[in-house]
Amino acid sequence: MTTGRPFSTEELARIRADFPLLARTVRDGRPLVYLDSGATSQKPRMVLDAERDFYEQHNAAVHRGAHQLAEEATEAFEGARASVARFLGADPGEVVFTKNGTEGLNLLAYAFSNAAAPGALDGTDPAWADRLRLGPGDEVVVTEMEHHANLVPWQELCRRTGATLRWIGITDDGYLQDPAEVVGPRTKVVALTHVSNVVATHVDLAPVTAAAQAVGALVVVDACQSAPHLDISDLTAPDSGVDALVLTGHKTLGPSGIGVLWARRGLLEAMPPFLTGGSMIEVVRMEGSTWAPPPQKFEAGVPMAAQAVGLAVALDYLSDLGLDRVQAHDQALMRHTLEVLAQRPWVRVLGPADPADRVGSVAFTVDGVHPHDVGQILDDSGVAVRTGHHCAWPLHRRLRVPASTRASFGVYTTAAEIDAFAESLDRVPQVFGVAV
């Protein structure tokens, strides 16, 4: 439970003024009501300015040159890493920049595949090496509520290695079932979301990490939906039971094309690299090569320096707002959204009924109306939401719905926008003849 207080009306007005896109109109001059932050967030002006300033004043190849611009670019890039580490409560040496959260999860999954190659784990701490070896008889555990980004890479890992994929089920109202019923002595990896992008469940990680630690399994957390709304620094604490996590910039007020993989130093040192080439090497000879220490070992090629700088500014912006207050704001919006939808009995909300167990979004269905049609009605009124299976097809099958409509929040979302959304939603029964 958060101890912060929601933003006041005046504070929200100041926050919204930082986001230029929110001032535009859509659909013949209608004010934009942006409720699709769970897909991608809007960017504050200081993030846009930080990217532009890098290109205008410091643009050069990071870690490549000895001239002043290259030094400035490298300093900015490594400074961004330090800022991300501060947001996570972690050491900068444990922060790897990736293209997005999906690439971070693939990096982890491929490390297990690459660990099987001859010599891949030579010189590795035997304890970590044993945890990275995966083959027939071993198991990877996910949950039934995963985004495809935290499901398909593990499916493919199991296909490549002969391991077995298992999953923790969910209840009808979106809670995880007992992980101890699935996690067992053959489990090598447990990968799960921190917050579902559909049912919005704020997953209690403690039972999962306890079950994993009991059998020596690694725990990987997808924090892409939680990072914009919660203080996630507790996940990197030494006693958290979490071994790795990912987040993505474009959902966290930052640029597209940048993400973060955080992992324990011992795990990063043991993992074979995913991509190879320039910048990630120590020594290269025609006969073979050795790798730079992490995090550089996983950052082949010229990195996305401007985007990293923008992401650092975005995370600092969230921190400056106060992450306890960001969470309180989200909770206030959640309570209000559930209240207005409860007044519309023709709407079925997916996920927990208790707003305290939810973060960031509300997905729903309307009796007898396809979510795409619901989205079109809302869009006609200037309300932007997401429709479809939200890259979580198995979860929708479990909930016995083909798709859903999702309204998701950002730090800039207001209660008045939720009211505008609800009023626009009332057109759906009128257009499609739904009984009210």
Residues β-bridged to residue 167: 142
Q: What is the pTM of this model?
A: 0.97
Residue 374's identity, in one-letter code, is V
Residue 1's pLDDT is what? Answer: 57
Query: Phi-psi bin for 29: left (phi > 0), alpha (psi -120 to 50), beta?
Result: left
Residue 271's pLDDT is what? Answer: 96
Listed residue (160, 221, 164, 161) closest to 196, CA to CA: 221
- Dihedral sign, Cα of residue 167, residue 173, residue 174, residue 175: negative
Contact at 8 Å (CB) between 373 and 356? no
- Token readout for 2 is 């958060």
pLDDT tens for the chain, 436 residues: list them: 567 999 999 999 999 999 999 999 999 999 999 999 999 999 999 999 999 999 999 999 999 888 999 999 999 999 999 999 999 999 999 999 999 999 999 999 999 999 988 889 998 999 899 999 999 999 999 999 999 999 999 999 999 999 999 999 999 999 999 999 999 999 999 999 999 999 999 999 999 999 999 999 999 999 999 999 999 999 999 999 999 999 999 999 999 999 999 999 999 999 999 899 999 999 999 999 999 999 999 999 999 999 999 999 999 999 999 999 999 999 999 999 999 999 999 999 999 999 999 999 999 999 899 999 999 999 999 999 999 999 999 999 999 999 999 999 999 999 999 999 999 999 999 999 887 7
Residue 2's pLDDT is what? Answer: 62
Q: Hunting for tokens 């945890």 — which residue is that?
A: 131
Residue ranges, comma separated, of all CATH 3.90.1150.10 domains in the chain are 9-31+322-432
Could you please state the CATH topology (level 3) that the domain comprising 9-31+322-432 is classified under.
Aspartate Aminotransferase, domain 1 (3.90.1150)
Active-site residue, selected from the candidate residues 275, 391, 415, 434: 391
HEC string of 91-143 equals CHHHEEEECCHHHHHHHHHHHHHHCCCCCCCCCCCHHHHHHHCCCCCCEEEEE
Residue 435's pLDDT is what? Answer: 79
8's CB contacts (< 8 A; 6+ apart) are none
Residue ranges, comma separated, of all CATH 3.40.640.10 domains in the chain are 49-319
CATH architecture of 49-319: 3-Layer(aba) Sandwich (3.40)
CA 245 to each of CA 27, 220, 263, 419: distance values in angstroms, whole numbers, following the listed order: 39, 6, 7, 35
d(CA 434, CA 436): 6
Active site residue 158: no
d(CA 280, CA 98): 13
